[in-house]
Amino acid sequence: MHIPDGFLDTKTWVALDALAVGATALAVGRTRRVMGEKQIPLLGVLAAFIFAAQMVNFPVAGGTSGHFMGAALAAILLGPWSAVLVMTIVLIIQCLMFQDGGLTALGANMVNMGVIGAMLAYGLYRGGQRILGGGMRPRPVAVFGAAWMSIVLAASACAMELAVSGTVPIGAALPAMAGVHALIGIGEGIITVLVVGFIAQVRPDLLELQKE
């Protein structure tokens, strides 16, 4: 899902860069307001975990492969704005140190996986929690649904950006990206459920950080 250089036209990547900068500035401000000094290390630990987890690829149908995105996990544990900040840190390091995603497309990748992935995952998770009940105790169905939808919606946004740039027709890009990532999303959902379930057992207090 990481868009490389040359796949987006100038107007698209400039607009997405501006949106990413604005979202990151808001994320920094909101994170400083809601997280105390003792909680900040968790943000760094989670960023490191997501970065490492994204390096592990798993096979998908048709010879393709996918990897864990982590936006839903960050949003469930830290809240939406802190999750945007975590994903921003991960994507910047990947781009600058490992050339995973283009420099001009960095803003697009941040919007897709950070802003769209984290924000929508958080909204879906909270909505699922309200429907299913249980208070702060995470419901596996809500966790899985939020994680699965986050990666499908992020991939769909990527497809639309490629179509707007004239790189790939929307009729080809959207079904291909959404279809493959619907399969990848199953792995995303399972990993997120397992990690959130483990944390709920050993450190349930960490789930209280999502009150943003």
Over the stretch 68-77, which tens digit does the pLDDT of each residue have? 899 999 999 9
The residue to which tokens 């959130």 are assigned = 196
Domain at 10-207: CATH code: 1.10.1760.20
> What is d(CA 104, CA 202) in angstroms, rounded to the nearest whole number?
41
Confidence of residue 98 (pLDDT cuts 50, 70, 90): confident
Higher per-residue pLDDT: 20 or 135: 20
Residue 43's pLDDT is 87
pTM attached to this predicted model:
0.91
Task: Write down the mean pLDDT value for the chain.
Answer: 89
> What is d(CA 12, CA 2) in angstroms, rounded to the nearest whole number?
15
What amino acid is encoded at 71 in this protein?
A: A
Domain residue extents for the chain: 10-207
Residue 87's pLDDT is 95
State the DSSP code for 115. I
Q: Is the predicted pLDDT of residue 63 greater than 60, yes or no? A: no
